Chains A and B, each alone.
Chain A
Amino acid sequence: MSLMTRITDRVGLGWRPKLAAGILSNLDRIDIVEVIADDFFNAPRRERRALRTLAAQSPITLHGVSLGLASSVPVEPKRLDQMARLCAEVTPVSWSEHLAFVRGGGVEIGHLAAPPRTAATIDGALANLARATTIVGVAPQVENVATLIDPPGSDRDEATWVSEIVRGSSCDLLLDLHNLYANALNFNFDPVDFIARIPAESIAAIHLAGGKWIGAQGARRLLDDHLHDVPDPVYDLLAETAARATRSLTVILERDGDFPAIGCLLQQLDRARQALAHGRARMVDEAEEEAAA
């Protein structure tokens, strides 16, 4: 079987209530829909029924935002039970969570924070991922996060830290390319080198998004706000990833607000498909060159 016949990439969109009409009327151009799982943990029966209806119409993937798996603190079983129940109810093709900590010492951070990149948080993440896999029944895909602050106390770089977690767990990687792009610009490293260093065989999913620059001149950082279109360099990183990833990829465009017309989002999905095709063609060329050598 040739390389490309084994690979079926798909490209989809994150479900947001304000995009519902646009998504439902364009399911022929959206291969998969990603749903924020936490929005449905305590949702009324009517909303969960609507989610089941969506799942019957389109493949869906569930995305968690509040488990806080990359922490030395054990994840609460109650939160995992909620994810397990939702997975059983809608049978997604996959589920995912962030490599972040979201609370500590009783303080809710209210966002995904990058933990110190140390052996302790790797051990904590591996223990939490094992708990999550046991309770939910399926291993989550784990996502790299964007950070405005260089995580204090870190003793290794992000590529090393993420790779150690992926290699030490049974989890695939959800590679968020805008998070990677933002971190690379904010902390001065090469995102292509990052992609080359993470285990290519573990990359199963991709997130695309946009952001904006914040801060005063000389102290600016790129904020991953999901309120802007995907910038060109992120499509280049998608092509780069597609040239290296050995498995089929699920690519999701995340947009959380300042919604453009659905046509604009569909165009971004098409650009993602073009970038994937470009990267996959490069992968075939390189494989053929290697075979001929």
Chain B
Amino acid sequence: MSASCFEAFLAKLYVDESARGKFLADPRGEAMKAGLTEQEVEDVVKIDRVGLDLLSKSLERKRRRRDVRHTSVCRSSRR
């Protein structure tokens, strides 16, 4: 698998709650299913779980703040 596919795997892991849940339940299986190389599978199996949890929550908070800002801008522009 190419480096760009590995980045794509990480991007999905960071932002997609369902994909992250499946991965955390079976890291090796999900990594292999995604077609990662043997080395990449080993790398994600020993992923920094504390960091993954905090990063995904932080990204979720950012998304919610952006959505609220977007909604309030839309509302005020309709006034």
Contact = CB atoms under 8 A, between A and B. Distances in A.
Interface of A: 71-73, 101, 103-111, 113, 115-116, 118, 120-121, 124, 147-150, 152-153, 186, 214-215, 219, 221, 223
Given A104-B11, A105-B9, A148 B51 contact: yes
Contacts of B51: 147-150, 186, 221
B63 interface: yes
A150 B46 CA distance: 11
Q: Which of A115, A186, A221 gathers the greatest number of chain B CB atoms within 10 Å?
A: A221
Given A73-B4, A121-B3, A113 B10 contact: yes
A116 B52 CA distance: 14
Interface in B1-28: 2-12, 14-16
A120 B3 contact: yes
Contacts, number: 96
A107 B2 contact: no
Interface residues of B, number: 31
Contact of A153 (B6, B52, B63, B66): B6
B58 interface: yes
A149 B52 contact: yes
B6 A109 contact: no
Contacts of A219: 50, 53-54
Contacts of B15: 107-110
18 contacts: A104-B10, A105-B5, A105-B9, A107-B15, A108-B15, A110-B62, A110-B63, A111-B59, A118-B3, A147-B55, A149-B55, A150-B51, A152-B44, A152-B48, A153-B6, A153-B43, A186-B51, A221-B54
B43 A111 contact: no
A72 B14 contact: no
B62 to A, nearest CB: 6
A73 B8 CA distance: 10
Contacts of B4: 71-73, 104-105
A107 B8 contact: yes
B47 interface: yes
Shortest 6 CB-CB distances between A and B: which pairs? A105-B8, A149-B51, A104-B11, A120-B3, A72-B3, A104-B8
